[in-house]
Amino acid sequence: MTDAYVIGIGMTRFTKHEADDVELGAQAVAAALADAGIGTGEVDALYAGHVHGGMVAGERVGAETGLAGIPTINVENACASGTTAVIEAVHAVRSGRFDCVVACGFEKVSDRKGMITPAEGDYEGALGLVFPAWHAMRARLYMNEFGLTREQLSLVAVKNRHNGALNPLSHWKEEVSVEDVGASREIASPLRLYDCCPKSDGGAAVVITSKRPDGRAIVIHGTGLASGRADGNYEALFEDVTARAARAAYDEAGIEPDDVDFAEVHDCFTIAEGMRVEGLGLAKQGTYFRQLEEGRWSMDGETPINASGGLLAKGHPLGATGVGQLCEVATQMRGAAGERQLARTKVGVAHTRGGSVPGTEGGSCGVLVCVSE
């Protein structure tokens, strides 16, 4: 089986855009092709992750970027749609089905009113569950079990907004203090506005090939995809779906959590970063926030988390989010991250969670393990 190399990346800024989702996807795909230095004739297939894009949105992006006519695969897996598209693209390249593919994600979120809800027909959504509330209830459980404080929760936003202020493609460019987070308006107790990611528009794309590039190679060595187990008694304080996706990716890559130098983690809410870093095996359950205070997850810490600013600062355009995480991992491995450049970038992880399903621990989860060679 061949390896899958990331040879091109491109993304728009994640923010409120006038352009529609297809245009944002097309901008990202064009940028990734230019970055890879290849023509459209070299691309065998297009994988497109989106949540609200509608029918054949990937084909519409292809038609705008010279990729019409090739096999196009549309992927919906809620917020993990982009990562799932990448995972499928990687396996298609590894298996020899295609030699060179583009995986992209795009979304228009800023024009959607109110808080994001589960899919229509979901009984929890019908009765008032919104995603901030889902995370708020886990934050309360975590507070009760592990003594998490309001100030510790705020430190996640402080860290990621600091990182995002150094990222030209970030939605938010302003730093916040612990006091700012605690004083921001209530959304779903105990979460406040700055505990929540913004509703961003954006597009992101990568070019993946089986041909090893000259010089530095960024290889996707591990992929893991999991869905929430349908067990009404699931462990609410542990990200088992993340742990299972991560284990699959680590095993495929032949690494352990201790080998991870840095990670982009699905921090849609402050509590989510903590629980998901623990689910990834980078911290023992109940210890993430203490280590946050000690600086372990900062850019100059032992294992930087969300140097891009994460969803909390960089933004969260659903289908584009996971591909954007991979773009950040590749940017760090290239040494091209400017003021937010990390020191150790040999092994990087991108982690994305998506959606909720009643009676399960969550919807989807995708994990990518990238290695710089």
Partner 1 sequence: MAVADDQQLSAVLDEALIAVGDRPALRGWRCASCGRLAFGIKRICPTCGANEGRETRLEGVGALETWTKVFGQSAYVIGYGLVGDGEDDQRVRVFGPVEADGEGDLVPGLPVEIRFRVGTTVWGDERVHHFFAPEAR
Task: Return residues touching partner 1 (CB under 8 A).
Answer: 114-115, 117, 120, 123-130, 132-133, 136-138, 140-141, 144, 185-191, 229-234, 236, 358-359
How many CB atoms are closer than 10 A to CB 54?
10
Whole-number Å distance between alpha carbons of 278 and 281: 5
Considering only CA atoms, which of 115, 107, 92, 139 is closest in space to residue 269? 139
Strand order in the sheet with 262-264: 72-75, 45-49, 100-107, 202-209, 5-11, 218-227, 364-372, 347-354, 262-264
Q: Distance between CA 242 and CA 245 in Å, rounded?
A: 5
Q: Minimal distance in Å, beta carbon 144 to partner 1?
A: 6
Instruction: Find out whether 207 and 330 touch, Cβ atoms under 8 Å.
Output: no
User: Which residue in the list 50, 79, 196, 327 is annotated as catalytic?
Assistant: 79
Quick one: 295 or 358, whose CB is closer to partner 1? 358
The owner of tokens 């400017």 is 338
Q: Smallest distance from the beta carbon of 75 to partner 1, in angstroms?
A: 25
φ and ψ at 278, to 5 degrees?
A: -65, -40
Q: Which of the following is catalytic: 197, 316, 327, 365?
A: 316
Would residue 91 show up in a list of annotated catalytic residues for this protein?
no
Q: How far is the CB of 232 from partner 1 (least distance, A)?
A: 3
* Residue number with CB closer to partner 1 (34 or 230): 230
| Distance between start and end Cα atoms, the chain | 18
Query: What's the closest the beta carbon of residue 131 comes to partner 1, in angstroms?
Result: 11
Q: In 259-320, where does DSSP find H-type helix?
A: 270-279, 288-293, 310-313
**In angstroms, what is the minimal distance from the CB of 145 to partner 1?**
9
Q: Residues with Cβ < 8 Å from 123, sequence gap 6 or more?
A: 358
Burial class (CB in 10 A: 0-12, 13-18, 19+), 234: middle
Minimal distance in Å, beta carbon 231 to partner 1?
6
**Crossing angle of helices 270-279 and 131-146, rounded to 10°:** 60
Closest CB to partner 1 among 124 and 252?
124
Q: 123 or 294: whose CB is closer to partner 1?
A: 123
Q: How far is the CB of 309 from partner 1 (least distance, A)?
A: 25
Per the annotation, the verdict on 327 as an active-site residue is no
From the list 19, 106, 105, 30, the residue with the least C-alpha distance to 64 is 30
CB nearer to partner 1: give 182 or 301: 182
Whether residue 190 is preceded by a cis peptide bond, meaning omega within 30 degrees of 0, is yes
Residue type, 339: E
* Pick 195 or 273: Cβ nearer partner 1: 195
Smaller CB distance to partner 1: residue 153 or 208?
A: 153
Which positions are catalytic?
79, 316
